[in-house]
Amino acid sequence: MATVRCDRHGAHHEAFVCTHLVGGRYLGFFCRLDEPANPYPDAWCTSCESIRMQYDGWNAESESMIDIALVCGGCYEEIRSKNLLGTESSLTTIH
């Protein structure tokens, strides 16, 4: 896991989220949980989850329809707390 430098949090582990989540609130927070060693698994919002489900998972076609942002682990934690609804149902192994 690489380290990135954040103006707010300093040096921290890198994380990737859909761009909707970066400035969003209450958008839902879906992520991969099949990598227990990764404290900041790739994450996406409810809208991107709809795309993932429509295309039967993440693949070249579904991934081309979303934009991803690189954030630090500190920002990831803030993003998660602002967007997690608690009703997300696919927080399991995702293909």
Domain hosting 19: range is 3-83
- Model pLDDT for residues 34-84, shown as the tens digit of each residue: 888 899 999 999 999 999 999 999 999 999 999 999 999 999 999 999 999
Alpha-carbon separation of residue 70 from 38, 43, 74 (angstroms): 15, 11, 12
Does 62 map to a domain? Answer: yes
Does 92 map to a domain? Answer: no
> Residue 16's pLDDT band (boundaries 50, 70, 90)?
very high
HEC per residue, the chain:
CCEEEECCCEEEEEEEEEHHHHHCCCCCCEECCCCCCCCCCCEECHHHHHHHHHCCCCCHHHHCCCCEEEEEHHHHHHHHHHHCCCCCCCCCCCC
Domain count, the chain: 1
Does 7 map to a domain? Answer: yes
CA distance 49 to 54: 8
Does 57 map to a domain? Answer: yes
Does 12 map to a domain? Answer: yes
Does 93 map to a domain? Answer: no
Does 17 map to a domain? Answer: yes
Does 94 map to a domain? Answer: no
**How confident is the model at residue 89, as a pLDDT?**
59
